[in-house]
Amino acid sequence: MPYLQLTLPCTEAQQPRVERALDDVGALAVTLQDAHLDAADEQAIFEPGVGEIPLWDEMTLTALFPDETDALVLLAALDAFDPGLDWSRARFEKVEDQDWERAWLDMFQPMRFGERCWIVPWDHPLPEDAQAPDAAIVRLDPGLAFGSGTHPTTALCLRWLDSLAAAGELQGKAVLDFGCGSGILALAALKLGAARAVGVDNDPQAITATTDNAQRNGVTIDVFLPAEEPVATYPVVVANILASALDALAEALATRTAAGGRIAMSGILAGQEDELLLRFAPWFDALQVAREEDWVRIDGVRNAHAVAG
């Protein structure tokens, strides 16, 4: 399926207005990239300190629209929504869905995390090492939602789940995957022995991707948008989201973690962990940090005496 792609340079100050306008006119996806990167450079990943805005001074914004979208009508709608922005700098081109899929498939190969956990593309043969009787195999097609295991934050969480299973602390438990994306962490938990998994995400595409991936793996994940989530407590909670979101949701995550329960949090750049360790200290004991490349995971145990709120 082809798409119409809009590319527009903008500044940090303009970015919220541009995104609001694009969302209003029906953008399917919006991505940001540092405007100063050379074409040959990899896309930069930038996420600042807790509570700060994760943007570059100048950036290139890309949005996807359905193929049948008329570019001139789209420009008129954008100008009507916010005439104070210079939409004449927008550039349009057709992109093929297969180009996105091919790039992903070229990058995404079977990967092992810890002792038993394997993430394998849905149509890829199992490696020999993944054919052990106790291997926990997740067949994945992330689609447009984040989470294939290739990013260090996801890898850190997968290894944590594998270590819980190895210690006998996952079997038969209920798991909350907060910010589930593709559902990869909830799926891994179920394959490693969890009895039930619940996913929460504010992106409807993530809800669809998680449901589809659960069906592909022959399991069930109860998945909700935040407004629809039935709030409960869980013995295992994992949240692979941004540091700023973890800061804002600290009390909510504490409320959802049962006394004595385990939590793991990632999406945190190295250097951000000290603020978050202080933020979560009132509710969690034995907080510790694991690092991979420039990213960290914080995990800990919900104390019994603290009361959220």
pLDDT at residue 54 greater than cutoff 50: no
Element (H, E) at 101: helix 97-107
Q: Residue 116, by phi and psi: left (phi above 0), alpha (psi -120 to 50) or beta? A: alpha
Domain boundary among 50, 68, 102: 102
Q: In this structure, are 134 and 69 located in the same domain? A: no
Does a structural domain hold residue 212?
yes
**pLDDT reported for residue 34:** 63
Size (the chain), residues = 309
Q: In this structure, are 166 and 264 located in the same domain? A: yes
Instruction: List the CATH number of the domain containing 153.
Output: 3.40.50.150
Does a structural domain hold residue 307?
no
In this prediction, residues 257-271 reach a mean pLDDT of 93
**pLDDT reported for residue 197:** 98
Q: In this structure, are 33 and 80 located in the same domain? A: yes
Residues 162, 168: Cα–Cα separation, whole Å:
10
**pLDDT reported for residue 249:** 95
The domain of 142 spans: 109-302
**pLDDT reported for residue 57:** 66
- What distance, in Å, lies between the first and last C-alpha atoms of the chain? 48
Can you say how many angstroms the Cα of residue 99 is from the centroid of all Cα atoms in its chain? Answer: 22
- Residue 154 annotated as lining a ligand binding site: yes
CA atoms in the 13 A half-sphere facing the CB of 162: 20
In this prediction, residues 90-96 reach a mean pLDDT of 86
Domain boundary among 68, 102, 136: 102
**pLDDT reported for residue 99:** 52
Tracing tokens 């938990």 back to the chain, one arrives at: 189
pLDDT range class, residue 240, cuts 50, 70, 90: very high
Over the stretch 147-177, which tens digit does the pLDDT of each residue have? 555 678 889 999 999 999 999 999 999 999 9
Q: In this structure, are 198 and 237 located in the same domain? A: yes
Does a structural domain hold residue 295?
yes
Give the chain's domain count. 2
- Sheet order of strands, 222-224 included: 222-224, 196-200, 174-178, 234-240, 257-269, 295-302, 284-292
Instruction: List the CATH number of the domain containing 28.
Output: 3.30.70.120
- Residue 179 annotated as lining a ligand binding site: yes
Domain boundary among 85, 102, 119: 102
Q: In this structure, are 69 and 136 located in the same domain? A: no
Q: In this structure, are 21 and 147 located in the same domain? A: no
pLDDT at residue 65 greater than cutoff 70: yes
Assigned token pair, 22:
């694009």
In this prediction, residues 245-249 reach a mean pLDDT of 93
Does a structural domain hold residue 308?
no
Computed over every residue of the chain, the mean pLDDT equals 83
- Residue 217 annotated as lining a ligand binding site: no
Q: What is the model's pTM?
A: 0.69
Burial of 223 (0-12, 13-18, 19+ CB in 10 A): buried
Q: In this structure, are 73 and 187 located in the same domain? A: no
